[in-house]
Each structure stands twice: as C-alpha cells, then as structure tokens.
Chains A and B, each alone.
Chain A
C-alpha cells in the first residue's frame, strides 16, 4: 500500500495516496478543477494553464525540521504564483484553494484568452452540447471579452487529417490531447504540432493521413470541436440523441459501447443509429474503442437487409408469412430428427446459441459451430477466471501471444498488452512473421508456419523464455489462428493449455482464445462442437439449419451439394446418391448461403435486440436494443423458440433474460448468472460522462453493467479436433498459402460501411518481395492462386515461399494449404 497523504482542498480534508496530482485529489472529493490539456489516462503536461490554483504548504523550520506552528495550527505559506493542479503532486499538510479570487481570476482570463480566436460557431459545431470549452466557459468564463472582434484570426475549417477524421483549425485550442493519445496510448505517433504561437497547427505526418486504427478516440477526448469524425460530422446534435448500451460485435474483446440514435426526417421518420461511442469498462476497453468498432455499424440500416421470411417456390425465393415459414421449417426438422444439423457462428448471442443447442438436442441432432479455429473446450476449462484484468498486469506477469496479430484481430487487447508491457510485464510474441506488438515485447519466438504447436511444447525448456514462463507469478497465454485452420489451432490450443493448466483458477492466469467472432467463446461454453468437415455435413444431413454463418460465401465449392445451383456443379462432383439437404438460413442479409436456402428467416441485428455475448476473456456482457427491428425480422432466439414450439419443444422465446435464467440453471459455467447481475456496476476511475466531459472525454459512463466472468468448467468440455500428420511445407514449386486476419476485411459489417472502403481494398495476397520477384511480379500486379485472380501486395515480414491470404477478402481459405501461384 502506498503512503497516504492528507491535504486540505477548499476547506475539505482528503487523504490520497502519495504521488496523486492535485486535480485528481480534488476530483475524488467532488471538486472540479477545470482542465483542458490534462487527461487522467495520459501524462500531465501543464500546457493550457486552465487548472492553476493557489497552493500553500506548511512552513518548516530549517534548523529543527519541525513544522512551524501559529495559533496552534501549522503556519501555511502560499506561493507567490498559482500552480498547475494537473502537474503538482499532493504533499502532507498542503492547502489548496481552487475557488479563491486569485484562482477564479485566472480561470476567467485563460478562458478569455482561449476564446480570442475561437470561432463562435457552437450552433453548428458537432461538439456543441457536449463541449468542455462550452461548459467550462459557462462555469468559469467572463460574460464579455475585451479582445477586438475584428482582430479575430481565422484558419482552415475543413482539413481532412485522414479519411476518417476532420480538423477544424479555428476551433483547436492546442491542448495536444490528440497528439499525446497517439504517442502515449495508441503508440502510433502520426500527429504533431507544427509552427508555434498563433500559427500552431495540428498536422499528420503519416501516409495515408492519420494512419491509426484508434483515431476515433481523439474525437472523444478533444475538449473542443476541432476533431470530428467523417461518419458523424454534422450528423446530429448530442441532445437530440438517445443512448443505448451495447457490446461491440466485431471481435472477441467485447468493448462496451453506447449507441446513439435519433428519429429523423432525412431517414424517413425512422429511428436510426447515428454513432457508436465507447462506454467505460476499465476491465475491458477502459474508455477506448477501435475505429472498426466505431465506424463499421452501417450494416444495421443497410437497404439490403432481409425484412421478411422467404421460401423457395418453383426454384425461386418468394415472400411467405412467418406462420407458413415456421410451419414449413418445423415440419422438416421434426421429420429429420437426428439427421438435422444446426450450424451456427459466434456472431450470435449466448441466448441464440443456447436455444439452437436446445433445439438440436431436442431433435437428437448435432449443434455445430461454424469456425476455423479450435480449442474452445480448453479455454472453458483453463481460461482466465474472475478477478482478471489486463490493467492490473505489470511486473511479475508474463503474457505469451502465439499465432495472433492482435493489432488486426483484437485492437483493444493490443493496446492493453502494450500498456501491460510498459508497466513491466514480460511480453513474449511467438509467430511465424513479425507483428506490430513485437515492438513492445521482451522476447520474440519465430517459427515456421506449421511448427506452432511443436514450438510451444518446447518453449518451457528454452533458456530465458522458458524461465520467463515457468517462473512468472502470473501467466496469460493468448493464442490465435494466424496461419492456422481448425486442426492446427486446436493442436496449438492444447500445447498452450499445458503451460497454464497448473495455474487454473488463479486470477490473471489462464488461456485466452483470440477468436474471429464476438461470441465464439460463448458457443464453446454452451457445448457447440466445431464443424470439422463441412462437405460431409451437407452430404449426410437431411436438414441443415444455418444461423449467422455464410459457409457458401466463404467457400463456393460447397455448392456442389445443392441442386438449386445445379448449373454450377461439375458433373463428377455430385456422386452421392443422397438427396441434397433442406437448408434453412437465419440471417441479416441475402448471403451466398441464403441464396441457396429453401427457407430464409430474417434475423434482427445486435443493435435491434437484447442479448449477451461472452468475450474472449469469458466475460458475459449484456447488450440492449437501440433501434427498432427491420421489417418483420425477429431475434434469433425467438425464431428458434417459435420453430421448436411448432413441434412441441418448449423453449423460452419471449424474454432474453429468461433464456439466461435457463442457461444459468443448466450450463455449468453460467451457473447463477442473471441479467440483473450482468447489469451491476461499481464506481470506476477515471470519472467520465456528462458532467465530467471536460475531464475524461465524451466516453459514456457505464450504468448498464460491467459483465461477469464465467466460472471455469471443471474439465474440458469434450475433445476438440486434433492436428494430425506432418505440417505442410512449401518447396521449390509449391507455395504455402496460409490464412491471416485483417482488421478491415470484406465481411458484411465493413463492406456496408462506405467510409472504410479505402482502407479495405480488394482481394489480395501478401508476398515477400523476394517471392514476388521470383514470380516476376511487382506490387499491385495480379496473380493466380488456385484459380482466383488476386492483387499482389508486398510485405517483407512474410516468410519466403509463403503467401498470406487475408480471411473474408474473397478467397476461400479454411486453413493452410499447398498452392500453385503464378503471374496472371
């Protein structure tokens, strides 16, 4: 425990730990010292001078070292000048006056200064209504300015820093919060000051401009309307919008977000989603979100969303009523019984997956998880338990990241691991190629694609690295599927689990899967088995009920099993005499898979309904409806329950909360969890939210729940797939093509957000420059990979004779494969 220091602020006594800054000590007892440049998440710089206060300290007799007493009280000497509350640490017996005449005069005058050339365009400024400058001016500013209006300086008002963030130079007060965020927190120093005095500009020095995946956060902490997002700019006034708590559905981190909505004329009187804002959860995303989470929300309002059930009639999909669709589907499932297969993905909520599993169990069929990454049976048993928080990891903790490019796969984990390393945690990065996080790591373990599991098995015995793992007080292992398919990642998970098994149940210790989807972990917890052989599923099953997955979009070759697309099927492909299965697809969009379906059931988006996700850290978190559902769409768990009801199986189909109750009663790791518990919150630091905008930024305060980390499963839930045989190797004529994950891919959420298109590009592969040279190719030229034409991009971090194929970018790749690549 750090030493406590007692001081007096505006007559109130407060005890805080040594080293606390005056501004934070004051905040703890509800005294708001105005600040602009100070931000509780960043190092203080004391450059805006708004926080100057009177500071007095006890007089100490130099001869005796004793505090001089006067009338029985310590004699206090005040400095001749004011001091910045944001850079001055507290000391014993200190007396701080934040509202004395002298301090108030300074606050007033600094504001007067800041406003000399600030445009008075609050009525059209996006920040208006949630603007620290506006609020602090009201609270502390002078009613009139003595500066001459005609001498106001003007500057550019529309400067695109990048394609996502705009700068209004007139509004900027040069607090450098954005620059410091990029330097200190994001670790991407792409912003800087240029020139000085009145001429000071914020500039970007990256190409493309403001090249950072965390750029949106600068608009939250900008204390004026200088930085705005291209997505929300002039979109709505803050006070017109409603706020709904949600969980980001883009990756397994499970960032807490707030969805701002408004009913507006330009959207035909509909309630629409205007922006995604971070919601504070210091154990998950603190007060940040990545740009994918912030900007890839346009799928909700996309015009191509499915709005009504469709059924195949004379070979074509036609509108049908829900009653008819449900009856048809239920009849087929009831007939198929054990020959029915449920195929779902981690895009669905816990409630949806639970009902789907119940339905499959009720029929005696299988519930399969559509995934190319395995090992979930191990994360349920050896995952991180309650009490785990990356923010608490530092000296004594070792974090091992294997086969994962966290920057692209889980950006906020990248931030948190970077920070843990900076606090002194030992970060070990094991991958076949260089990834961005390596910059902050103590050890790098390089292996060849295919040697993942073997490398990890031998890791504990290696000098230095082995010691860092075995002797660590706390050990967290994150594994992903960089270059791996289901078999490889399952084998890797098993190797990783060996490292943490003996630590099971200890907070800040365990195994974390860097899953491709938000709720893959939830699916494993609920007993879904990974689908090992998709082709076999479609060859054997009588009915396949697909929810939230697009296997045919990912791999067009599968269509050979479906008669509606007979024209596409090579004759020899459909040798089986088994009739094609009846396909039910529950989806948001008319995906390639949906196009082949016999019945399509329109589902609601995560933004339109209630539910919960289980993050990679196994934290169950609730999301709430923000906008009305599209057309006749229904929530997935509701649809499943209604189908089940048709053939007499009773599932909860009205309230998501009750589905959770059932889960809590039957699924061990969910035991005892309720929606009420998930909605509980405790006080968090720093204080953010409406009244504290000037301090923490426009991040939303968390009033809707911090979530709960699930209990560990006593033993691994069943056996996952295991890798067999020799790893694939490239040779003289054969390339090794491996899947990797990119942040901005062509998945439906990014593809429907026009703003991100420039950052996505088209289908491509990444080759080492030497490899490309061997093929006689330059960057940007076309290659042929197993019949697909692709653009070549060069990347010196790619091993030679290996091609990285980004997932969800138009090229089917389930796992590593030997491939033929040639210039096209």
Chain B
C-alpha cells in the first residue's frame, strides 16, 4: 500500500540483491566501496541498504581478500579421517597466517569452513571455486607451489 515506488517495498529490486552481491564479489574479489556503489545504483537501493545486507552474510567479504581463498573443510568426514586439523596447521605454517588472515602479498586468504559436501574426497579443501580432495602434505605443497607461480 505505502511506498510502491521505493526499493524497500519493491520485491524485484530487493530480491536481486544477494545475486547481485555474488556477481560483484566475483568480479572484485571482495565487496569494496565501488562494488557496493555499483550494486546500489543498479538496484535503486542506497549504499547503506546494500552494505547492511552484505554485512549479514559471512560469505560476503567487506575486507580485501587474497587472490586465492583457501577454504579448509573441518566437517565431520574430514575430521574423522584425521585431515582437518593437521591440514589447517600445515597450511597455516606454510603461509605464516592464521585462519581468517590474508598473506601480506595478497595472494592467499585462509579460512575454515564447515562442510564442502565432498565427504567422499575427505580431507578436502577448496581454492576459490575449485575443489581439491584426498589431500596430503605433498599434494598441498605442490598445490601452493603451483598457485604461487601462477
């Protein structure tokens, strides 16, 4: 009844927000002020409304992220095969960062995630959108080396 024009009440515009943020994050690596502004402009929302929604979701990043986001699974299967903790410790030591941090060169961000839905490949991790399964110390070493040199 009230406010038919406003974006607040306009389900189309509001409903597009998460999808738009997803695309923006993919393009920019994180939701920097420019990304927020562009999403807001495009959907006829205020920047505040966009930032507010983005802040609600942990997968939307309002801080700069490394070029490669390494997401280490600590779900049940990965844990049971004895992978989760050693894998995290190993990478942490290698990159000299704690979970949640980014390497100073901006290359890697390390994160813990709950389950990657790849229990058959436990222990598993993800680099950006790529899944890597049955990880061992050697395989991680090789992977990090490869990413470093890209």
Cβ-based interface call for A43 (8 A): yes
Complex alpha-carbon distance, A31 and B64, angstroms = 52
A184 adjacent to B3 (CB under 8 Å): yes
B48 touches A205 (CB 8 A): yes
Q: Which residues of chain A come closer than 8 Å to B5, judged between CB atoms?
A: 422, 440
- The answer to whether B2 and A195 have CB atoms under 8 Å apart is no
Cβ–Cβ contact A192 & B52, under 8 A: yes
Contact status B56-A196, CB under 8 Å: yes
For residue B2, give the distance in angstroms from its CB to the closest CB of chain A. 6
Please pick, from B2, B46, B47, B55, the residue contacting A422 in the complex, using a CB distance under 8 A: B2
Interface residues on A, range: 20 to 34
- How far, in whole Å, are A133 and B47 apart by their CA atoms in the complex? 31
Complex Cα spacing A423 to B6, Å: 12
Question: Closest residue to A43 on the B side, CB-wise?
Answer: B2
Chain B 1-42 per-residue mask, 1 if CB under 8 angstroms from chain A, else 0: 111111011000000000000000000000000000000000
Inter-chain contact B2/A192, CB cutoff 8 Å:
no
B49 CB within 8 Å of chain A = yes
When the two chains form their complex, are residues B6 and A194 in contact, meaning their CB atoms are under 8 A apart? Answer: no
**Complex Cα spacing A419 to B4, Å:** 11
Residues of B within 8 A of A195 (CB): 55-56
Chain B residues with a Cβ closer than 8 Å to the other chain, count = 16
CB distance from A34 to the nearest CB of B (A): 24
Question: Cβ of B49 and Cβ of A189 under 8 Å apart?
Answer: yes
CA distance A192 to B40 in the complex (A): 14
Q: Are B46 and A189 in contact (CB under 8 A)?
A: yes
**CB-based nearest B residue for A188:** B46
What A residues does B6 contact at CB under 8 A?
183-184, 187, 422
**Residue pair B48, A189 in contact (C-beta under 8 Å):** yes
Within 8 A of B (CB), among A148-190: 183-184, 187, 189-190
Nearest-neighbor residue (CB-CB) of A193 within chain B: B52
A378 at the A/B interface (Cβ < 8 Å)?
A: no
Nearest B residue to A194, CB-CB: B55
Q: Are B52 and A422 in contact (CB under 8 A)?
A: no
B51 touches A205 (CB 8 A): yes
- What secondary structure prevails in chain B residues at the interface with A? helix
Instruction: Say whether chain A's binding surface is mostly helix, strand, loop, or mixed.
Output: mixed
**A766-822, CB < 8 A from B:** none
**Are B48's CB and A192's CB within 8 A?**
yes
Residues of chain A from 197 to 218 with CB closer than 8 A to chain B in the complex: 203-206
Asked if A191 is an interface residue, CB under 8 A from chain B, the answer is yes
Could you tell me if A192 and B49 are in contact, using CB atoms closer than 8 angstroms? yes
Chain A residues closer than 8 Å to B55, beta-carbon distance: 193-196
Within 8 A of A (CB), among B33-74: 46-49, 51-52, 55-56
A204 proximity list for chain B (CB < 8 A): 48
For A180, give the chain B residue with the smallest CB separation: B8
Shortest B11–chain A CB gap in Å is 13
- A440 (CB) vs chain B CBs: closest residue: B5
Q: Are A184 and B49 in contact (CB under 8 A)?
A: no
Give chain B residues whose Cβ lies under 8 Å from the Cβ of A196.
Answer: 55-56
Chain A positions within 8 Å of B8 at CB level: 183-184, 189
Cα–Cα, bound, A422→B3 (Å): 5
Cβ–Cβ < 8 Å partners of A43 in chain B: 2-3, 9
Contact of B47 among A184, A193, A205 (CB under 8 A): A205
* Pairwise interchain contact B51-A194, C-beta atoms closer than 8 A: yes
CA distance A423 to B9 in the complex (A): 13
**Which B residue's beta carbon lies closest to that of A201?**
B55
A194 near B52 with CB under 8 A, answer yes
Bound-state CA distance A539–B101 (Å) is: 80
- Chain B residue with Cβ nearest A195: B55
Task: Report the Cα distance A449→B4, complex, angstroms.
Answer: 33
Among A189, A190, A204, A419, the most chain B Cβ lie within 10 Å of the Cβ of A189
Residue positions of A touching B, CB distance < 8 A: 43, 183-184, 187, 189-196, 203-206, 419, 422-423, 440
Other than the known A195-B55, A204-B48, what 20 A-B pairs have Cβ atoms closer than 8 Å?
A: A43-B2, A183-B6, A183-B49, A184-B2, A184-B3, A189-B8, A189-B46, A189-B48, A190-B48, A192-B51, A192-B52, A193-B56, A194-B55, A195-B56, A205-B48, A205-B51, A206-B48, A422-B3, A423-B1, A423-B2
Q: What are some 30 contacts across the A-B interface (CB < 8 A)?
A: A43-B9, A183-B6, A184-B2, A184-B6, A184-B8, A187-B6, A189-B8, A189-B49, A190-B48, A191-B48, A192-B46, A192-B48, A192-B49, A192-B51, A193-B52, A193-B55, A193-B56, A196-B55, A203-B52, A204-B48, A205-B46, A205-B47, A206-B48, A419-B2, A422-B3, A422-B4, A422-B5, A423-B1, A423-B2, A440-B5
Interface residues in chain B, defined as those with a beta carbon under 8 Å from any beta carbon in chain A? 1-6, 8-9, 46-49, 51-52, 55-56
